Amino acid sequence: MTGRFGIALAALLAMVACGSPAQSQDASTLKKEMIGQWELSTTERSKTCVVTLKGDATPLGLKLELDPGCAAALPFTRDIIAWNVKGLDIVRLQDAAGHPVIDFTEVESGIFEGLRTGEGIYILQNLAAARSLAKSMDQMIGDWAMVRGNGLSICGLTLTNTEATPDNFVVYLKPRCDPGVVAFAPTVWRLERGALLLMSAGGEVWRFEADDNAQWRRVPDSADPLIMLRQ
């Protein structure tokens, strides 16, 4: 009995020993990938802050720099003095005592989400990607047509850069739209994580995603798809 127990214990210790380097390697890889400039923002990007994560070690973690406007845009950033990776995949922005100010986990490639209780969700994403999104929004402004899968146009609309609320912009429907679109009556639009959102005053949302043909298809897809085409 003792021999069997000894063998089992030895196997368990071997598994733990083998697992530790892999965990360390994963955390180390994430640290390297995080070094650089990132945008910390609200989900709608109405308030943003540029954070530069560095690889230099300090007694409390790794160095970082916050742009001067961060404290005004996101007051909780006043407490952030260092960053680190906890466990395998948690990116932590921490205070002088080493406590988390906010923890982030990756939800999409290069996009991290963190929750602050009582405030909501914040986004951490690569600065270049965030600025590319802003540029993409500018490219969306103009006239569009909604068409069915058979090519039949059912509505024309104009996406504007007139801000209705933070990060939501005015959309206008043109005359003679399909009754279903008129009933939906979108009033604002925005880009969110690569998707085009049309929203009504009542809170209804139509979501469109770009396909391989440079078109925007409503999701979830259907047998009679709804597609937006640039005019």
pLDDT tens for each residue of 97-106:
999 999 999 9
pLDDT digits (tens, 9 = 90+) for 12-60: 333 333 444 444 447 788 888 899 999 999 887 778 899 999 999 988 8
pLDDT at 193: 73
Residue 131: the pLDDT is: 74
- For residue 59, the model assigns a pLDDT of 87
How many domains does the chain contain in total?
Answer: 2
Output the six-digit token pair for 197.
């959102």
Among 45-49, 104-108, 131-135, 219-223, the range with the most confident prediction by mean pLDDT is 104-108
Cα separation values, 157 from 61, 141, 144, 170, 185, Å: 51, 11, 5, 11, 11
Q: Cα–Cα distance between 84 and 212 in angstroms, integer?
A: 38
Give the domain-ending residue among 107, 132, 157.
Answer: 132
How far is Cα 167 from Cα 192, in angstroms, rounded to an integer?
Answer: 10
- What range does the domain containing 172 cover? 141-230
Query: Are 92 and 174 contained in the same domain?
Result: no
Q: Are residues 198 and 162 in the same domain?
A: yes
> What is d(CA 227, CA 220) in angstroms, rounded to the nearest whole number?
12
